[in-house]
Chains A and B, each alone.
Chain A
Amino acid sequence: MTDDAIVIEDLRKNFKDVKVLEGIDLKVERGTVLALLGPNGAGKTTTIRILSTLLQPDDGRAYINGHDVVKDPDAVRASIGLTGQYAAVDELLTGRENLEMMGRLYHLSKADSRTRAEEMLAEFELTDAANRAVKTYSGGMKRRLDVAASLIAAPPILFLDEPTTGLDPRSRLKVWDIVQQLVDAGATIFLTTQYLDEADKLADRIAVLDHGRIIAEGTADELKEKVGKDRLEVTVTKESDFDAALRAVEGAAAQSDPEERRVSVAMEGGVHEVKELLDRLERAGVKIEGLALHKPTLDDVFLHLTGHEAMENDQVTKK
């Protein structure tokens, strides 16, 4: 039997007439990371709000650490840490005061709250700014403090709603590193993200939410397989050679892009395949300028499944 830290069964939520969640089923095994992907408005934040007891579902059940989110919210709250989509810290207090306050509210002792606050400040590289009011922090610093606040009590289950949106690459790596450490330490993490490389890197399993339903779920590799195989892309030097190149690779499930003078062919995987393709092009007298092996990315998966471009959504999200 698997030990699931999070179990979601047929979860439904409407806001007035708008159906936001139309029956979600998900399980997250203890000690793993689940990334919930989906275009804007898919219902990711709504899902996290229900799981963290901020919002009542209309129907369905959810269990966190074995506790029902509706019937036993206090037990759920004692097991979780939450980092919402937007930084939620007290702007008038200093960074240290914020963390110590959170420690106390998670019912750590005064001494523990103080040491933990210190550790988190150091871990998130905020020690230098610890005694400054948070309203003087940059967006990225606020975000780091926000993530730190949800980790102060080392809860077994963490909800992170777009934890790295707005962070610079260095801070993002920092958060990734910490998520990895948390998982190594046995935590279960439920995160949403707009960055597919983030999901690829961190998540054990990925679920794609669209129009209130889970339309795909699996490991990153499983999802990528759904989209297709690796492709070899060839860019020809002269535009006049393009038709000849296309004829030469005919039958090999080719795709073409005349504007970029590019032809791409699905690969089964062997080196001999590459050689044979190049031979055929040479025999046809086609000169080539570039050669690239293209593996399907989660972007392809996302596009294929939802019909939206992930990055395009990302721009809309920025406040």
Chain B
Amino acid sequence: MSRSKFAIGSVKPEQRSKLYWMFSDSGVLIKRSLSHIVKNRDQVLGLTIQPIMFMLLFRYVFGGAINTGSVSYVNFLVAGILIQSAAFGALTTSLSVATDLQKGLIDRIKSLPIVGWGLLMGHVVGDLARNLIQSLVMIGIGLLVGFRPSASPYEWLLIAGIVLLFTFAISWIAAIMGLVARSVESVQWMGFFLVFPLTFASAAFAPTQTMAKWLRVFAENQPVTHVIEAVRALMIGTPIGNHAWLAAVWCIGIIAVAMPFATHLFRKYGGR
């Protein structure tokens, strides 16, 4: 047989366990998504500026008119803004998935001998990293405009855990939307319609007590509110009640359903 570079078997795959490849494949695709963040700095900047504008808007324009009782409005606000930006930020997963679909990259990935959720996991983890950066920037800006948290280091760890768990869960939903929407244009609308009501009809910007009855029932029982209230309680010492464990249950439940469903969609319908 010729010594051409194309000779079959001129390179051989490494022989490793299935489990090894599961980690290796998702690792390679996570690395890809992380380098997208570095190469796409403009996008990260855009995604960070928007919640900062919201924070300043609510802090200085609307905040004075909202009664948060004994808690200062800026202390009340930061948890809400943090979770809202995590939710909107997660939509970049939808965008990335839809872009990969449009560019045909998903077809190529599907023809490889790798785990079905590898590519999606890459985007979801990329989202976590992006969101972590964003959250730190936001907390920093918060401190500049009067945010005075009382959380202990241990509580900060819990906060980070909840925020990341929430981002992870909502990113998997975003992955599903990317696979269903198929085009970058429709994905933006779809995401908006999901995230807008969930984050505004919640305890993000105002206490739920003053909302209309029907809205209040929704706002107080939907997962985003539990997540926000849990983070807020840990940050500034408001009563935590059932919020922390309900938030965790919601997020884990969402992950348990959305992750296999997204993988199924990826295998069955992802493609042009």
Contact = CB atoms under 8 A, between A and B. Distances in A.
Interface of A: 49, 52-56, 74, 77-78, 80, 82, 84, 86-93, 97, 101-102, 104-109, 112, 116, 119-120, 123, 133, 149, 151, 153-156, 178, 181-182, 184-187
B210 interface: no
A186 B114 CA distance: 25
A107 B22 CA distance: 11
B36 A87 contact: no
B93 to A, nearest CB: 15
Contact of A154 (B6, B24, B35, B114): B6
Interface string B6-30: 1111111110100001001100110
Given A54-B271, A104-B24, A178-B6, 4 more contacts: A54-B110, A80-B111, A82-B108, A88-B107
B71 to A, nearest CB: 43
Report the 4 A-B pairs with minimum CB-CB distance, sorted nearest first.
Answer: A88-B104, A107-B13, A77-B113, A88-B108
12 contacts: A77-B112, A78-B113, A89-B105, A91-B103, A93-B32, A101-B28, A119-B5, A153-B13, A154-B6, A154-B10, A154-B11, A181-B2
B109 interface: yes
A104 B14 CA distance: 10
Contacts of B24: 104, 107
Nearest to B28: A104
Interface of B: 1-2, 4-14, 16, 21, 24-25, 28-29, 32, 35-36, 39-40, 103-105, 107-114, 268, 271
Contacts of B5: 119-120, 123, 154, 181
B65 to A, nearest CB: 44
Contacts, number: 112
A151 B11 CA distance: 11
Contacts of A149: 108
Contacts of B14: 107-109
A301 to B, nearest CB: 30
Given A178-B6, A185-B4, A186-B1, A108 B110 contact: no
A108 B9 CA distance: 11
A90 B8 contact: no
Contact of B35 (A87, A91, A93, A112): A93
Contact of B11 (A97, A116, A184, A185): A116
Nearest to B15: A107
Contacts of B268: 56
Contacts of B40: 92
Contact of A88 (B4, B7, B105): B105
- Output the residue of B5, B36, B105 with the most chain A CB within 10 A: B5
Contacts of B35: 92-93, 97
A154 B13 CA distance: 10
A78 to B, nearest CB: 4
A236 to B, nearest CB: 52
B111 A182 contact: no
A103 to B, nearest CB: 8
